[in-house]
Amino acid sequence: HATLKEIRKTPEGILKAQEAFERIKEEVTLPRNILYTGCGSSHFLSQLLAMATNALGGKGIALPCSELVYSRNYYAINSPELIVAISRSGETTEVLKAMDVLNIKKLGLTAYESTLSKKADYALIVDTPEDSVVMTHSFTAFYFSYLQLLRESYGLQAFNAEEVSRLTRDVLKNEGYIRELVDEFEFSNVIFLGSGILYPVALEAMLKMKEMAIFWSEAYPMFEVRHGFKSIADDNSLVVMLVSDPFEWHEKLVQEFQGQGAKVMVISEKELGSEYYLQVAKVDELLMPVVTLPIIQLLAYYKAVKRGMNPDSPRFLEKVVRW
């Protein structure tokens, strides 16, 4: 499947991301106040980038393109200096429309020379083309490339791309473990949990499950799940916890779900008493999406295969949504 090949290309994608960053860094210095927009996975990426902007001292807000076009009066859009429009294809109708709503500079984040890249004042083109309908390694590469630009713009040292690429290579070594998990435990629903920068990763994981495996999935901010939502978890459920900086609440949450009969998979630097555990290296928190995304993509991929689905071209979905 193209999808699997593309997930496996993540380490190479990080190097392509670095090249794209190096091409644009002399031309563009990002301002402090930035509005991010995209559709589907690209919207979840816009949430990641808005959070990274806030964490690094700027002000970022993220809206799905359709909300920006039709309902922006409901959102606190405080005079942004730049719109960052994200689209793998660069051809999605809504993203092109969203670029016209505010008369400010635009940066297009995309994989191709496209309508989006031509329409934008600046283009960050990350050379990670994909055949699959669903976004995988391009998502991770877009995130990394833009993160480098944010750091450079805000006077911080960019990350070492070679090292980050190596980290993703290590993470991908868990492919066999994930395939075995999916074979061994035939869960009938899955909940992804993450806090801060890992919350949009949980949302993207939820979408990957729905898109690739046509499978019911949920995502919540880590501890918010205890307030009612957890009722759906039972002995048929897999709960995936994406954790940076673990502390005792995380262990208590693992136990709470185990008490309901659910099985928990923890992705973190530390073991927390869960049935399944994937260790990731201790990294800067803003790099956690880079090391966790390949894992949740593989999980959705193997669930799709197990369910006899074709993750390359899922039912009812198209690579580019136009109207």
Which residues are catalytic, by number? 319
297 binds ligand F1P, rule: CB under 6 A:
no
21-40: which residues touch ligand F1P (CB under 6 A)? 39-40
In the structure encoding, which two tokens stand for residue 161, read together?
Answer: 């791309």
Q: What are the strands, taking DSSP E only, across the chain?
A: 33-38, 59-64, 82-86, 105-110, 122-125, 189-194, 217-221, 237-242, 263-268, 276-279
Q: Which residues contact 234 (CB under 8 A, 6 or more apart)?
A: 260, 261, 262
**Rule CB under 6 A: is residue 317 a binding residue for ligand F1P?**
yes
Hey, CA dihedral for 181, 182, 188, 189, is it positive or negative? positive
**Cα radius of gyration rounded to whole Å, the chain:** 19
Query: Nearest approach, Cβ of 235 to ligand F1P (angstroms)?
Result: 31
Which among 27-35, 85-93, 159-167, 217-225 is the span making contact with ligand F1P, rule CB under 6 A? Answer: 85-93
Selected from 87, 128, 136, 274, the binder of ligand F1P by CB under 6 A is: 87
State the nearest-atom distance from the C-beta of 170 to ligand F1P, in Å.
Answer: 26
> Is residue 217 near ligand F1P by the rule CB under 6 A?
no
**Angle, helix 288-306 to helix 137-153, in steps of 10 degrees:** 170
Which is nearer to ligand F1P, 222 or 309 (by Cβ)? Answer: 309
Does 319 engage in binding with ligand F1P (CB under 6 A)? yes
- For 229, counting Cβ atoms within 10 Å of its Cβ (0-12 exposed, 13-18 middle, 19+ buried), the class is middle
Interaction between residue 134 and ligand F1P (CB under 6 A): yes
Kindly identify the residues of this chain, within the stretch 92-111, that bind ligand F1P according to CB under 6 A: 92, 95
Site for ligand F1P in 159-178 (CB under 6 A): none
Binding-site ranges for ligand F1P (CB under 6 A) = 39-42, 87-89, 92, 95, 133-135, 211, 317, 319-321
